[in-house]
Structure 1
Amino acid sequence: MWEWLAENAWLFWLIAVVVLAAVELLTLDFLFLMMATAALLAFGLSWVTDSFVLQVVAFAVTSVLLIFLVRPVALRRLNRSTPDTASNTDRLIGLPCQVLEAVTDRGGLVRLEGESWSARSVTGEPLPAGSDAWVHDIEGATALVAPYPAAAADGRPAPRPSY
């Protein structure tokens, strides 16, 4: 087994690169990308030297350096380019919606972003069909909604209440 590994170290490192890159695609945390890059270096080194121990040491040292020096910079840069970007259901919080079926603290139906959502009143106050509301939170597939305040006298929308 060890003899085969020593003779085919390049194949071991190539498999390691592919597996680590695949895991990175699942996690998207840059940790496995750094390790895949180190495995790629070890793959290149396997063509220069037959010393598997040297390849493992190079992989380990490069992994540690990349994880502690390059990864934080890459994460900061990524987070700076997308600051506080709400995604999935988080982006729906604070949006207005229209009540399709009366909403109570037990249930109801609202139109949100062109889709029908099950809804519950966050204040416990029933909302009649046809009224306007806003999304306070999302719990699973249920929108927790509150009554939308009436517009101010000068036509500007009233500020959203906070709970």
Structure 2
Amino acid sequence: MDWLGDNQWAGWLTLAIALGVAEMFSLDLVLIMLAVGSTAGLVAALLGAPLIAQALVAAAASVAMLALVRPSVVRRLHAGPELVLGQRKLLGQRALVTERITAIEPGRVRLAGEIWSAAPYDEHLTIEPGETVEVFEIRGATAYVHPVPTLEP
């Protein structure tokens, strides 16, 4: 028992390692914050602080990590690109006109490897086959498209 009293840092190190290993199984980012608090207790023990001071330092560091660091880390981990499914995924994509498109007579475009019926987004336009268009809107099974401007000398 005398060895443990002289080497309190070993207890804090063991606790920090155990919490770190347990965090690998839980993945909640709670136990790792407690492990950081245990590491702060380890540092206090190495500096020669009494056991009560080590415990207070470890508790304060754990609470600070849980309150200040964990929320921003969790928010950053859960943030990501929005998952876009269905027809919304096709908005903004480019397509190749395969049949002439007019406001009176819808044509066809090759969009995402499939043939879609298409109408001009601006009803005064006529879009010829071979032109590249951008999908502005999809209503039902019809893509409303607008020609992509090209830079020609």
- Name the TM-score, length of structure 2 as normaliser: 0.51
- Residue-pair matches, total: 94
Which runs of 4 or more aligned residues in structure 1 lie more than 6 Å from their structure 2 counterparts after TM superposition?
Answer: none
Name the CA distance, whole Å, in 1 between partners of 2:23 and 2:81: 22
Distance change >3 Å, CA 83–CA 58, structure 1 → 2: farther
Q: Which runs of 5+ in 1 are unaligned?
A: 86-92, 95-150, 159-163
Letter in 1 for 2:34: M
Matched with 1:121 is none
Matched with 2:30 is 31
Letter in 1 for 2:40: L
Name the CA distance, whole Å, in 2 between partners of 1:153 and 1:45: 69
Matched with 2:7 is 8
Q: Does 1:154 find its partner at 2:153?
A: no
Q: Percent identity?
A: 29
The answer to whether the 8 Å contact 1:46/1:55 transfers is yes
Name the CA distance, whole Å, in 2 between partners of 1:5 and 1:83: 51
Aligned to 2:59, what secondary structure does the other structure show?
helix
- Name the TM-score, length of structure 1 as normaliser: 0.48
Q: CA RMSD in A?
A: 3.0
Deviations 1:17-59 (A, max 9, x none): 1100011111111111111111111111111114111111111
Letter in 2 for 1:154: S
1:30-109, aligned counterparts within 5 Å? Answer: 30-80=29-79, 82-83=80-81
Q: Which runs of 5+ in 2 are unaligned?
A: 87-113, 119-137, 142-153
Name the CA distance, whole Å, in 1 between partners of 2:22 and 2:81: 25
Aligned to 2:117, what secondary structure does the other structure show?
coil
Report how far residue 73 of structure 1 moved: 1.1
The answer to whether the 8 Å contact 1:20/1:36 transfers is yes
The answer to whether the 8 Å contact 1:6/1:50 transfers is no
Name the CA distance, whole Å, in 1 between partners of 2:50 and 2:30: 26
Deviations 1:126-150 (A, max 9, x none): xxxxxxxxxxxxxxxxxxxxxxxxx
Deviations 1:85-104 (A, max 9, x none): 7xxxxxxx98xxxxxxxxxx
Name the CA distance, whole Å, in 2 between partners of 1:75 and 1:50: 33
Name the CA distance, whole Å, in 2 between partners of 1:64 and 1:50: 20
- The structure number with the bigger radius of gyration is 2
